[in-house]
């Protein structure tokens, strides 16, 4: 398994992920018409300043998902959030999630510009919670959020990183 930068050729991958009821079960459900296209375009627009990565697996490097660390607003703060989606079939529930998260976190850590990564995980999304725990995130408690406008009851997980910048107040 390896990651490569998200690219124009991943339009169909995003469409498959966003429209799949199983993938989207904990993310507000399968996407309504037009959303996958907007998600794809936003990933391309922001790929210079955020970490959008395509997950490749198998001997033929087949694209099987997307993992990302992207900027978002939360409670009036500009934060970095983790997101990951794997395609059903060869990827979802095959133990790839933690490895993909570790790889993107290492890229973010190496940049030394991000103080912490946040993850908002559906309260009953046990696979995602296990992946978060295994990759060093800490559960800070319940919160209410939305995915692309769909309300989600979730837990707020945080992974602190070293930045090389002094903390506020230091
Ligand atoms: C969340 C996700 C990235 C996890 O990656 P994954 O590779 O599928 O996860 P794994 O196969 O390693 O499963 C993690 C653990 O959860 C367990 N698990 C999986 N599904 C489960 C379920 N429905 N209930 C309980 N445990 C479950 C697995 O058994 C595994 O534990 P084990 O290693 O001890 O056997 C992936 O399932 C996914 O893309 N889900 C859809 C999108 C999503 O919800 N993303 C997260 C948004 S925050």
Residue 148 predicted with pLDDT over 90: no
Q: Buried b / exposed e across 120-131, counting CB within 10 Å, b at 16+?
A: bbbeebeebbeb
Handedness of CA 109, 111, 116, 118 (dihedral sign): negative
**What global pTM score does this model have?**
0.93
Domain count of the chain?
A: 1
Average pLDDT score over residue span 140-146: 89
Test site for ligand 1: of 127, 132, 154, 156, most ligand atoms within 8 A of the Cβ: 127
Q: If DSSP codes are grouped into helix, strand and coil, which group holds residue 131?
A: helix
Test site for ligand 1: of 28, 93, 152, most ligand atoms within 8 A of the Cβ: 93
Residues whose CB is less than 8 angstroms from the CB of residue 133 and which lie 6 or more positions away in sequence, other chains included:
139
| CATH code for the domain of 25 | 3.40.630.30
What span, in angstroms and rounded, lies between the C-alpha atoms of 145 and 168?
Answer: 27
169 and 116 Cβ atoms separated by less than 8 Å: no
Q: What is the pLDDT of residue 144?
A: 84
**What is the per-residue pLDDT across 26-82, written as a single tens digit (0 to 9) for each?**
888 899 989 999 999 999 999 989 999 999 999 999 999 999 999 999 989 999 999
Residue 96 lies in a domain: yes
Closest atom, ligand 1, to C-alpha of 85: 39
Q: What is the 111 CA–ligand 1 centroid distance (Å)?
A: 28
Our answer on whether the CB atom of 82 is closer than 6 Å to any ligand 1 atom is no
Residue 166 predicted with pLDDT over 90: no
pLDDT band for position 170 (50/70/90)? very low
Residue 46 lies in a domain: yes
Our answer on whether the CB atom of 101 is closer than 6 Å to any ligand 1 atom is no
Q: State the chain's mean pLDDT as an integer.
A: 92
What range defines the domain where residue 155 resides?
2-160
73 and 67 Cβ atoms separated by less than 8 Å: no
**What is the per-residue pLDDT across 84-97, written as a single tens digit (0 to 9) for each?**
999 998 888 889 99
Work out the percent of the chain whose per-residue pLDDT is above 90: 78
């Amino acid at each position: 398994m390896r990651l490569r930068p998200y690219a124009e050729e991943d339009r169909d991958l995003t469409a498959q992920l966003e429209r799949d009821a199983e993938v989207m079960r904990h993310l507000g459900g399968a996407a309504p018409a037009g959303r996958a296209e907007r998600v794809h375009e936003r990933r391309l627009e922001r790929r210079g300043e955020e970490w959008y990565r395509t997950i490749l697996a198998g001997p033929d490097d087949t694209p099987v998902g997307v993992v990302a660390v992207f900027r978002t607003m939360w409670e009036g703060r500009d934060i970095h959030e983790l997101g990951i989606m794997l395609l059903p079939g060869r990827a979802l529930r095959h133990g790839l999630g933690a490895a993909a998260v570790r790889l993107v976190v290492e890229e973010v850590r190496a940049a030394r510009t991000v103080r912490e990564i946040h993850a908002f995980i559906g309260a009953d999304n046990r696979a995602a919670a296990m992946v978060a725990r295994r990759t060093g995130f800490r559960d800070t408690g319940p919160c209410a959020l939305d995915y692309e406008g769909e309300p989600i009851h979730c837990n707020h997980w945080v992974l602190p990183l070293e930045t090389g910048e002094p903390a506020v107040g230091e």
